[in-house]
Chain A
Amino acid sequence: MRKLWLVAAVMLVLMPLASVFAAGTKEEAPAAPRQELVIAIGAQPEALDPIAMASAPAATVGEHLHQSLIYMAPDGTLEPSLAESWQAASDGLSWTLRLRQGVKFHDGTPFNAQAAKANLDRFLDPESKAPYRFLISEVSAVQVVDEYTIRLVLNRPFAPIISNLSHSFIGMLSPASLQSLAKGEATSNIVGTGPFKLVRWDRGEQIVLERNSEYWGRVPTIETLTFKFVPEDAARMVMLETGEAHAVMRVPPADAERLNANPGIDVVYASSVRVIYAGFNTQVKPFDNPKVRQAMNYAVDKEAIINTILAGVGYPSTAPVVPAVFGHTKVGPYEYNPAKARQLLAEAGYPNGFRAVFHHPTGRYLMDSTIAEAIQSMLREVGVQLELQTMEWSAYLSFLRKPPAEAQHQMYMLGWGTVTLDADYGIFSLLHSSQWPPTGWGVSYYKNDRVDRLLDSGRTTPERSAREGLYAEAIELIWEDAPWLYLHDEGQINAVRSNVEGLIHHPLENILAWDAYIE
């Protein structure tokens, strides 16, 4: 009887394994002739309704389903999408957009000026509580001029409006699908104009899309596109290796070489719109002295950080925004020169260095805590003793976002992605003196009147080349003043199965599959 128990127990454990053998091996063969693509991303979109979207995963998936009026190409150019052309009035107080004709939503209803107005009004409605409403908050009214023309009336001239309109979160949904919703209610029934349609959303697990055969543009080759949510980095890599996923994002730098050596996998390095920097609280000693701030910039070897910690992925910052951003001008990088750093510190009155506290997040940005440690050791060489402190992300945000009188930080690490690829978004929000907390995120409490005026003009001048000049001058001043320790422009490391072609690795940290196919 005892023996029987033992045998039964052992069999119970072995049986599932045996039938696995018998039934077959892996789930899906990676090189399936069927065009069914699986992409594994690290988090689930919180929502796909434009008025509730707030994160990169939401943008990645949303881009396939609904479209904005204007499309931001990977190289930063603004291309016609649902709007074919746009024109500012001479006073800059309104923009007229001609819309694309013959476009249908996934439910068959037509896209036209009424539909565009309905969506923009809904996005702007304060009761919708759209987190990214501020992108187009200068729009006071949306007018229907004719069936395929709308006019946006602005409170004051706002040149970045067109770049902002290209944001993934200002996608167009079918008004018919929105009719039964209450104000502020977000829909799960996403009916857009995009190259893919929503089939189902298994919460916490995956989103399944199918191709839109009536798409107004090039119909995708991929028939079924599945986004799986896998938060654990190692698990995502495993899925790629077994072929359960065809593409993954955010490959840890340490895994890049190993994956690339795998003949079935290609590692893709793409640029990103995110800059990583260490900001200074310019209202407190010793960071109130620009020489000290410049010294800090000279004391850190950004190349070394990129090569040893980030596996060579990324570039030392040449400006407060990445090169792809409109308005970027190359004023840097600050070369690694510890001797110059020491000299500047001495001139500033700190020949023996000083002590300070450096706050940084952990796990938010690629290798953030390791980078902080590297900075600490490099600065020690020039006599600056940094104490490192870290906290959980949400707590960190609250900790930083305080009015200058209550600020407790001296030096802090942050990243900022200029998702509209317009210098206004990258610089105004952080370095204009009107954006100090509680209003905004200017937690360096930087104030330069000339820069303020340049940034204000940059917003209101509609002409692109004139704007470029304004931002060029502003960036030069900001570089000199060094309210930040400019670190690096992040790069993206994604990985794709070798038999998959045509995926777009967008600097906005999306993977786009509408041109992809499986060989």
Chain B
Amino acid sequence: MVGYIVRRLLLTIPVVIGVSILIFAIIRLIPGDPAVAIAGVHASNEYIEQVRKDLYLDRSLPVQYGIFVRNLFRGELGVSTMSRRPVATELRERFPRTIELTLAAMLIASLVGISAGIISATRRYSLFDNLSMLVALFGVAAPVFWLALMLQLLFAVNLGWLPATGRGTWRHLILPALTLGMATAGLIARITRSSMLEVLRQDFITTARAKGLAEKVVVYKHALKNALIPVVTIMGLQFGILLGGAVLTETVFAWPGVGRLLVDSILARDYPVVQGAVMTLAVSFVLINLVVDLAYAFLDPRISYQSQESE
């Protein structure tokens, strides 16, 4: 097990290097002179040239990449061109808020999704089943942006139960978490359902029933654990995705997280922030996937990381 973890951690290194090259290249491919973007419309030519020099934009690309990597090794993520604050500070402030939102969304999505999926599977083709799958489809298909505005209109304007935007009390968390969690809830519900159905068809379930075990025990002790494997995969992936991209939700609800910071920085060509944020997200995503993979071993005793041919 420890060997497996160590190997996985070592594998993150080439992934991180790959991501760093990718993000470095991509933002520099965006059309437009970043020095002009940063300096703004009213800036003088000298200022634009100054900005260009300060960001090493006048050097060749390999040199720029070299500087970027050197700083990474020193643990320096650089300074934001917009706010002139260290990128690390900006991220340290915004990241926990996005994690908070994402965790809340995942909590809602998992509880609602798994419950609905289990019930749908055990009561296949019932009214509940059809209804919940329809709602799940709606959740996945509805544009996040539209959903956010609708929820805002209903609960903040018309009913006045919840605040429209911002962050502060737990009440501020409800609407954004609901919006963000809807699509994932739908996804989880559908996958839980189909996975459960798959598992419930297996021979060992028939055996358990034949042995006279109560249905509750069959479903929860034997079937569920196995059925959850694909669900856990999805949950892990979704968590990583939500972490990096809750931009629409954050924009509509003015949630001060990393997603908005990223978009604002891209538009302002704030390279240091974009690079720093993406690198942080990439590393988080890799670590989350590692945790997910480790969870498999708990869920499915057939999977063992002692052997050589794992995963």
Which A residues are within 8 Å of any B CB, using their own CB?
1-2, 5-6, 8-9, 12-13, 16-17, 20-21, 25-27, 43-44, 46-47, 49, 52, 54-55, 126, 129, 131-134, 137, 184-186, 188, 202-206, 228-232, 234-235, 238-239, 241-242, 244, 391-399, 401, 419, 429, 438-441
Contact = CB atoms under 8 A, between A and B. Distances in A.
A398 B33 contact: yes
A228 B165 contact: yes
Contact of B119 (A5, A17, A20, A44): A5
A231 B31 contact: no
B254 interface: yes
A84 B123 CA distance: 82
B96 to A, nearest CB: 12
A229 B116 CA distance: 37
Interface of B is mostly: helix
B164 A235 contact: yes
Interface stretch (B38-46, B57-65, B199-207, B277-285): B38-46
Q: What size tier do the contact residues of chain B reach?
A: 35 or more
B233 interface: no
A238 B41 contact: no
Contact of B164 (A184, A238, A439): A238
B287 interface: no
Given A54-B40, A239-B164, A242-B157, A46 B116 contact: no
21 contacts: A2-B216, A8-B115, A9-B111, A13-B112, A20-B161, A20-B174, A129-B50, A129-B54, A134-B47, A185-B84, A204-B261, A235-B165, A241-B157, A244-B163, A392-B32, A393-B37, A397-B33, A398-B33, A398-B37, A401-B36, A441-B41
Interface in B145-179: 149, 152-153, 156-157, 160-167, 170-171, 174
Given A129-B47, A131-B47, A397 B166 contact: no
Contacts of A26: 160, 163
Contacts of A228: 165-166, 254
Interface string B47-82: 100110010000000000000000000000000001
Contacts of B166: 205-206, 228, 230, 244
A188 B253 contact: no
Nearest 8 Cβ contacts at the A-B interface:
A204-B256, A394-B37, A395-B32, A9-B115, A398-B32, A398-B33, A134-B44, A205-B256
A242 B160 contact: yes
Contact of B165 (A55, A239, A401): A239
B267 interface: yes
B124 interface: no
Contact of A393 (B93, B156, B171, B267): B267
B8 interface: no
B28 to A, nearest CB: 13
Nearest to B253: A235
A184 B47 CA distance: 13
A241 B153 CA distance: 10
Nearest to B85: A188
B82 A46 contact: yes
Contacts of B164: 235, 238-239, 242, 244
Contacts of B112: 9, 12-13
A393 B269 CA distance: 11
Nearest to A391: B31
A206 B256 CA distance: 9
Contact of A46 (B83, B119, B163): B83
A132 B48 CA distance: 11
Nearest to A3: B119
Nearest to A238: B164
A5 B17 CA distance: 45
A21 B45 contact: no
Given A25-B161, A205-B254, A397-B37, 10 more contacts: A13-B112, A21-B161, A203-B94, A228-B165, A234-B152, A235-B152, A244-B163, A391-B31, A394-B34, A440-B44
Nearest to B163: A27
B45 A439 contact: yes
Given A47-B84, A235-B165, A20 B171 contact: yes
Contacts of A131: 39-40, 42-43, 47
A59 to B, nearest CB: 12
B90 interface: yes
Nearest to B170: A16
Contact of B157 (A16, A238, A396, A441): A238
B37 A5 contact: no
A13 B111 CA distance: 9
Contacts of A17: 161
Contacts of B142: none
B263 to A, nearest CB: 9
Contacts of B152: 234-235, 238
Nearest to B49: A438
A446 to B, nearest CB: 18
Contacts of A16: 170, 174
A384 B119 CA distance: 65
Contacts of A419: 42
B94 A204 contact: yes
Nearest to B31: A395
A461 B74 CA distance: 54
B32 A399 contact: yes
Contacts of A6: 115, 119, 128
A395 B264 CA distance: 15
Nearest to B89: A203
A88 to B, nearest CB: 24
B124 to A, nearest CB: 13
A20 B162 contact: yes
A419 B118 CA distance: 63
Contacts of A398: 31-33, 36-37
B289 interface: no
Interface in B229-270: 251-254, 256-257, 260-261, 264, 267-269
Nearest to A402: B33
Contacts of A396: 32
Contacts of A12: 111-112
B282 to A, nearest CB: 21
Interface string B5-44: 0000000000000000000000000111110110111111
